[in-house]
Amino acid sequence: MRALIKKMVYQVPGWLGVYHALRKRHQNEAVVLTYHGVVPGVPANRPRFEYRNFVTTAQFENQIRTMVKHYRPLKVADFYREDGEVGGGFLVTFDDGFVNNYRYAMPILKKYGVEGCFFITTNLIGTRNFLWTEEVTRRLEMTRMPAVELTFEQPQTFALGSREERLGASQQIRKKMKLMGPAPLRKMMADLREQLSDVAAEMSREEEDRYLMMTWEEVRDMLKNGQAIGSHTHNHPMLATLPEEMSFEELRLSRDKIREECQIPCQTLSYPNGERENFSPKIKEQLRELDYRCAFSQIPLFNDRHSDPYELRRFNVSLELPLAAMEARIAGL
């Protein structure tokens, strides 16, 4: 009942023409959407929280169809070319580099004539390794251990007995870990793996749609099919936690790997996590030095021709976001 009421709350303004009026108000601005993954559906034996930043293929197609109806599709290059005009447009972006982007998102984008920009974590492409933030959630969700004890400022015990406790632990632990530098983060991951060693370290075939990254061959095929590729760094660190020489290397290594594997210039980046505390004026300076032309944050606002090209804003799209609520958000409600 609550879900139905929420849906109606967002649908009624649409029926009354409110969203149309708001879109006209923002007609000189652009909407950029952030996705992470697209899957046919959430497996019945897995918690929905594990897929919180994904959408289903049905959701994705409905969203793209709606965007094409109300906005004009943009290319990522429109945000850094001198003659680029972004007003009244939308851009679809994907972070991380999951294979489901290739399997399920790309065909839908092609169907509607939309170029997406896929920001990839280059050191994970072509591997079966987990993105570290995803590994944390996976282990906490799948373990049968009743609790885990981790030391941040001081030792802290996180109960894992119920689904709600595991969800809360995942949110708290990942939030704290994102503030860590590389060495403490590696130590914390090793500790977590040791305590939750009952969870299989290897990715199963059934988990591939959720966790597997693309291969370089698939990345290159994306380009052949009219999609764009950008950097999401080399190892997915929170850039602002790194010493300057390490953040520079993260940006350089990712840029060079994309150049080498795809034979294209790497001119765009999305910041891991993408909140204000995850990048800095120094990071922007490094991007300019390395010939990046623009970078995307996760700050949920609009963009226009005067926006800082190294702090472009995006709206995140998630599993539990109804289409009407998405329309409201990107209309500025």
> Phi and psi for 290 in degrees, rounded to 5?
-95, 10
**Residue 136 banded pLDDT, cuts 50, 70, 90:** very high
The span from the CA of 124 to the CA of 126, in Å, is 6
Confidence label for 18 from pLDDT (cuts 50, 70 and 90): low
Position 332 scores a pLDDT of: 75
For residue 11, the model assigns a pLDDT of 61
Q: Is 41 a residue whose pLDDT tops 70? A: yes
Tell me the mean pLDDT in the region 146-169.
Answer: 94
Dihedral (Cα; 221, 67, 42, 52), 10-degree rounding:
100
Residue 8: pLDDT band (50, 70, 90) is low
Topology of domain 2-128+212-331, per CATH? Answer: TIM Barrel (3.20.20)
Could you tell me the pTM of the whole model? 0.93
Per-residue pLDDT for 159 more than 60? yes
- How far apart CA 313 and CA 279 sit, in angstroms, is 13
Closest alpha carbon to 101 in 182, 208, 253: 208
Encoded tokens for 281:
């004026």
How many C-beta atoms surround the C-beta of residue 100 within 10 A? 23
Report yes or no: 179 and 272 within 8 Å, Cβ to Cβ.
no
Residue-level pLDDT at 22? 58
Q: Between residues 23 and 304, which one has the greater pLDDT?
A: 304
Mean pLDDT of 244-272: 98
Is-contact 23 306, C-beta < 8 A?
no
Residue 14: pLDDT over 90: no
The structure tokens 């849906």 sit at: 7
Percent share of the chain, pLDDT over 90 = 84
- Which residues, at least 6 apart from 308, have a Cβ–Cβ distance to it below 8 Å? none
What pLDDT band is residue 47 in, cutting at 50, 70 and 90? confident
Q: What is the pLDDT of residue 49?
A: 87
Report the C-alpha gap between 228 and 237 in whole angstroms: 22
Poorest-pLDDT segment among 18-32, 62-76, 111-125, 201-215: 18-32
Does 5 have pLDDT greater than 70? no
Q: What is the pLDDT of residue 153?
A: 86
Give the pair of three-digit tokens for residue 187.
Answer: 């130590």
pLDDT, tens digit, 9 for 90 and up, residues 179-214: 998 899 999 999 999 999 999 999 999 999 999 999
Type and span of the H or E element at 8: helix 2-15
Q: Which helix (H) or strand (E) holds 177?
A: helix 163-177
**Predicted local confidence at residue 45, as pLDDT:** 85
> What pLDDT sits at residue 24?
57
Is residue 148 predicted with pLDDT exceeding 70? yes
On the question of pLDDT at 2 being above 70, the answer is: no
So where are the chain's domains?
A: 2-128+212-331, 132-195
Quick one: pLDDT at residue 6? Answer: 52
Phi and psi, residue 324, nearest 5°: -65, -35
Q: How confident is the model at residue 271 (pLDDT cuts 50, 70, 90)?
A: very high
